[in-house]
Amino acid sequence: MAKRRKRARILRSFRSVLIAAVVLAICAWVGCAYIQEHPQDVPWTELQLDHPIGMFTGRKLAALSDDYPFCQNLMDQMAVAYVPLKPAGEGQCRRANNVRLTGANSERIRFAPRDIAPSCPVAAALTIWEDQIVQPAAVRYFGVRAVSIRHLGSYNCRQVAGSERWSEHATGNAIDIAAFTLADGKAISLTGHWHTNGPEAAFLRTIRDGSCDLFATVLSPDYNAAHADHFHLDQAKRGAMDYRLCR
């Protein structure tokens, strides 16, 4: 009797181990299949600007500040018209990885004023932002594409208003977006439409929410009065914390 009980325990243990092994194998197979189909959701896959936005896309974009040549290569692959700039400035306002967006590519949205020169990580994020956030939202709400974006600047050697912290604008690692113009001539601005109830407001909020997947910081009129007329988008690196700010 004791031997039978012992054999029964051994068989139960064997079955438990076998079931666990099968479950692990299935999980591994499912996990591998998911990774193959969704490389953008895996932290170690290489960033590509034409891949769908994933869970780690924003962090990979911010990390481009450590690899200027790779950032430029990504821009080249997307045929973005830009001119790499030489390092300039001093101290907290030194710009080491900025590019001038020339607007020479007629297929992409024009920035007004022209020749804005953000950091390469911001420019790379703007490329995905245009293709996967702005243009789909324009077509969804208005049936036409966006052709122009009015901005309030990128580089500005200054501290954050009311504080002693240096702004991401001090190195051009930010851009302020104020308005959009569509192919049919319709203009949509934050000052004119954010606090309305029509499709213009929905369009702007869709863009704000989508921006949070690409930029380290997204500030809108919901944040404070200083941002009543624009979206602030930047690629701040925050060290070990690496938190994202979306307001």
Read off the pTM.
0.86
What span, in angstroms and rounded, lies between the C-alpha atoms of 139 and 60?
28
Q: What integer pLDDT is reported at residue 104 of this predicted model? A: 85
Q: What is the pLDDT of residue 24?
A: 56
Q: What's the whole-number average pLDDT of the chain?
A: 89
In this structure, are residues 203 and 194 in contact, taking their beta carbons and an 8 Å threshold? no
The identity of residue 157, as a single letter, is C
Of 181-190, 195-204, 217-226, 236-245, the one with minimum mean pLDDT is 236-245
pLDDT at 150: 98
Phi-psi region at 89: left, alpha or beta (left = phi > 0; alpha = psi -120 to 50)? left
**What single letter denotes the amino acid at residue 58?**
G
9-13, 78-82, 141-145, 146-150: least confident range: 9-13
How much is the average pLDDT of 125-154? 98
Find the helix or strand (DSSP H, E) in which 234 lies.
strand 231-234
What is the per-residue pLDDT for 174? 98
Residue 233 has pLDDT above 50, yes or no: yes
Residue 221 identity: P
Check whether 151 has a pLDDT greater than 70: yes
Taking only the tens place, the pLDDT of each residue in 76-105 is 999 999 999 999 999 999 999 999 999 887
Percent of the chain with pLDDT over 90: 76
pLDDT tens column, 14-42: 554 555 455 455 544 545 555 666 777 88
Q: Could you give the CA distance from residue 211 to residue 234 in angstroms, rounded to a whole number?
A: 10
Give the per-residue pLDDT at 55. Answer: 94
- Whole-number pLDDT of residue 243: 81
| Torsion 218-180-172-124 (CA) sign | positive
Average pLDDT over every residue of 144-155:
98
Confidence of residue 156 (pLDDT cuts 50, 70, 90): very high
Task: For strands 231-234 and 174-182, give the pairing.
Answer: antiparallel
